[in-house]
Amino acid sequence: MARDIKKLLSDLTLEEKASLLGGKDFWHTKAVERLGIPAIMVSDGPHGLRKQDQKGDHLGVNESIEAVCFPAGCATAASFDRDLERELGETIGNECQAEDVAVVLGPAVNIKRSPLCGRNFEYFSEDPVVAGKMSAAYIRGVQSKNVGTSIKHFALNNQETRRMSVSAEASERTIREIYFPAFETAVKEAQPWSVMCSYNKINGTYSSDNEWLLTQVLRDDWGFEGFVVTDWGAVDDRVQGVRAGLDLEMPGDTKANDAKIVEAVKEGRLSEEAVDACAGRILEKIFSYLDKRDETAVFDREADHKKAIDLAGRCAVLLQNDGTLPMKSDVKVAYIGEFAETPRYQGGGSSHIHSHKVESALESAKKKGRSVTYTKGFGIADTAVDEAAIAEAVAAAKTADVAVIFAGLPDSIESEGYDRDDMKLPACQDALIAAVCAAQPRTVVVLHNGSPVECPWADQAAAVLEMYLGGEGVGEATDRILYGEVNPSGHLAETFPMKLSDNPSYLNFPGTLRSVDYQEGVFVGYRYYEKKELPVRWAFGHGLSYTTFSMNNLRLSTEEMDDDTTLTVTVDVTNTGKMAGAEVVQLYVADKDGTPQRPLKELKDFAKVDLALGETKTVTMQLTARDLSYFEEDLGDWFAPSGTYELQVGDASDHILLKKEISFTTEKVVPLHVAGDTITEELLANPKTAPVIQELIKKGMAAMGGDAAEGSAAKEAISDKMTKAMMLYMPLKSLPSFGTMTDEELAGLIAKLNG
């Protein structure tokens, strides 16, 4: 039964409406029983249900119900598979219905600015297109079960250090191009029921007070229809928050702030309409949930555990392989490293799941009767190099046909609440891997980590398999991949740099006591490494398979685009190898006319294709003018200059297989605001002002001695090149100083150019 929200709002007292804008406790909204408005429950995710009972806390201290832990965002993003993400969402949505949870607090989509961010394991990517498309798919999945999502943390929450107070300082262009699009795509494509605002400030203003963020951008520009909730405890000024469009404060009890809202309305500092707008948006979702409640839903933990195994297998990334993988079932294998026995499969903090069942790779191997020995080699919590343990591992590796080392980061290094200090594996693991590789050329390294690690031993390893934090099914999934029952098909949604200091945020992470400067601008991840020509360990988009693929026949629906064109790009992908597999087709765009300050190329779309042996499928993707554009601050809009753009298709950012150029024309014009400090270079670049300026330049060159005789002393001192440069970078205000015009003539010139 649909509710008349307007009627409900008119029946509620001001005090009751204010009370709806804050939680009752950690996980519930407030009820207004007199009018039949119940409380609803929200719970963390995002990669499983973390439903806590009454004594809630958001840091995982109190126990939550037993649930199923699926692969974390770092892993599911690597699948590049929207269907997988949707499937995960549907499963969690169903679990929420079974447990009467109305909104799951996720997905978490912040961009991985630095590999050190403690929460990278939950986040998707260094690339905004991957983060946006994958989160939209997850949201569609959850919400198809009539359960809400709360996409988080909006915005620029890219570190844990001082996350509750730090001011992220970035240009509007950087924010719009890198840090917003994941949220923008999710809102435009999937309308999450809720958006969670971040703790931090953006350019000096707390997200929870920020009207530009929560209303102008989120609602007016993107069309968001749901409610905004604070991150837990992120309120700064509750009354300003209501003005800004911050609907719900969590956690409860929020009586003091509810009273401030009432008082502000009574004193005329806050309009009652603003309170109504917030309450209305919350009520809409409360009743959306209740009106289509599915009382028949069942949380089948066994079935969902199987799904967790399946998903983990589809996310894993084979980083390198000399043919050692997959292993035949009769080879003698030495498993080394405590993670073989106790896999690390999830991160710490609010997303921590009380897992139903965890099976290690060693248990799977035993169950299947594999010929596997086990040597601990290092303990999960160890850091110091243990020569005796290494010697034992080396001996085991030597007597086997293949050594498989299960390496990774311990819980204590990667968690919500704090960042990593470095990008290394614990020293005992690096030393062990190097020693085993030296003794056994067929050494495979399996990684359990939520974010890149330095791999100084990579060139000595026969194969490296990134399992990420793969959820409770990661042990069995690893077994299936090692032995070829599953063909790996993940690709990296983030770059593995050679070393931490190569990362573009290195000099500005995590900032000073009060702020962090995003000085690298739009050059995040591969956008930076490519432009700097820095070698990386494994590039963004990279991932191998046990089979081979080819990509052919790149076709474009047109080679001439304008502001209104939707370009269709098609490409044929064939499985040319020896087993079924799945390939990730990646479409990048490069501006060929050298607009300053643009990455060499940027990912704009991708597709995952399952292919049987010998099968060919045609993949279709679409591009619009927005995909060619950068955010032009002078225009306050997306802008692609007229010119040539190259479309590049490949299976990794460093492996482009097909290219085609298109020409683009735009009607958009970047407005020119001519003033005294406008330089001639800018005016020359504009067809409207160029002729006027060329004349002036001629005069200026003469005045500056540009017409001095060849070989004269004047010519030797001031070359033509220098005169030209002086004129090119000359602000208009300086022209009178060189005698080319009077102050009055200058004022007239500026007026004419602006006209």
Minimum Å gap between C-beta 44 and ligand BGC is: 5
- Amino acid at the residue 667: E
Query: What is the C-alpha separation between 466 and 735, in angstroms, rounded?
Result: 61
Closer of 30 and 424 to ligand BGC (Cβ) = 30
Q: Which residues are CB-contacts of 537 (< 8 A; sequence separation ≥ 6)?
A: 452, 454, 455, 458, 496, 497, 498
Question: Minimal distance in Å, beta carbon 108 to ligand BGC?
Answer: 6
Nearer to ligand BGC, 152 or 601 (CB): 152
CB of 107 to ligand BGC, least distance (A): 10
DSSP conformational letter for 525: T
CA 30 to chain centre: 33
What is the nearest approach in angstroms of ligand BGC to the Cβ of residue 43? 8
The minimum distance between CB 254 and ligand BGC, in angstroms, equals 15
**Contact status, residue 584 vs residue 688, Cβ threshold 8 Å:** no
Which CB sits closer to ligand BGC, 51 or 370?
A: 51
Q: Pick between residue 16 and residue 44 the one whose CB is nearest to ligand BGC.
A: 44
Residue by residue, DSSP assigns 139-191 as HHHHHTTT-EEEEEEETT---STTTTTPEEE--HHHIIIIISHHHHHHHHHH-
Which residue do the tokens 């983030």 mark? 494
List residues near ligand BGC by CB under 6 A. 44, 58, 105, 152, 231-232, 350
Q: CB of 152: closest distance to ligand BGC in angstroms?
A: 5
Gap between the Cα atoms of 518 and 171, Å rounded: 8
Tell me which residue has its CB nearest to ligand BGC. 58
Least spacing, CB of residue 42 vs ligand BGC, in Å: 8
**Helices marked H in 605-719 — which ranges?**
625-628, 680-684, 690-703, 713-717
Determine contact, residues 344/414, Cβ cutoff 8 Å. Answer: no
Which among 231, 247, 386, 479 is annotated as catalytic? 231
CB of 202 to ligand BGC, least distance (A): 16
Cβ closer to ligand BGC: 114 or 375? 114
Got the DSSP string for 211-237?
A: HIIIIIIIIIIT---SEEEE-TT--S-
**CB-based contacts of 457, cutoff 8 Å, min separation 6:** 430, 433, 434, 437, 445
| Shortest distance in whole angstroms from residue 68 CB to ligand BGC | 18
Distance of alpha carbon 65 from the chain centroid: 29
The residue type found at 263 is E
- With contact defined as beta carbons under 8 Å apart, do 115 and 452 qualify? yes
Given the complex with ligand BGC, which of 254 and 495 has the nearer CB atom?
254
**Complex with ligand BGC: residue 108 or 435, whichever CB lies closer:** 108
Report cis status (omega within 30 of 0) of the bond before 386. Answer: no
Residue spans of alpha helices (H) in 640-689: 680-684
| Identity of the residue, 27 or 529, whose beta carbon is nearer to ligand BGC in the bound complex | 27
Q: Which is nearer to ligand BGC, 350 or 429 (CB)?
A: 350
Helix (H) or strand (E) holding 407: strand 402-408
Which secondary structure element, helix H or strand E, spans residue 606, and what is its range? strand 602-611
4 is a catalytic site residue: no
Give the Cα separation of 66 and 47 in Å (integer).
Answer: 14
User: Rounded to an integer, what is the distance from CA 334 to the centroid of its chain?
Assistant: 37
Q: Which is nearer to ligand BGC, 157 or 440 (CB)?
A: 157
Least gap, CB of 344 to ligand BGC (angstroms):
20
**Which residues are within 8 A (CB) of 589 and not within 5 positions of it... i.e. 6 or more apart?**
601, 602, 604, 623, 627, 628, 645, 646, 647, 648
- Asked whether 402 and 444 are in contact (CB, 8 A), the reply is yes
A 10 A CB-CB count for 277 gives 17
Distances (CA, A) of 533 to 494, 536, 539, 599: 17, 9, 12, 12
The residues that are catalytic are 231
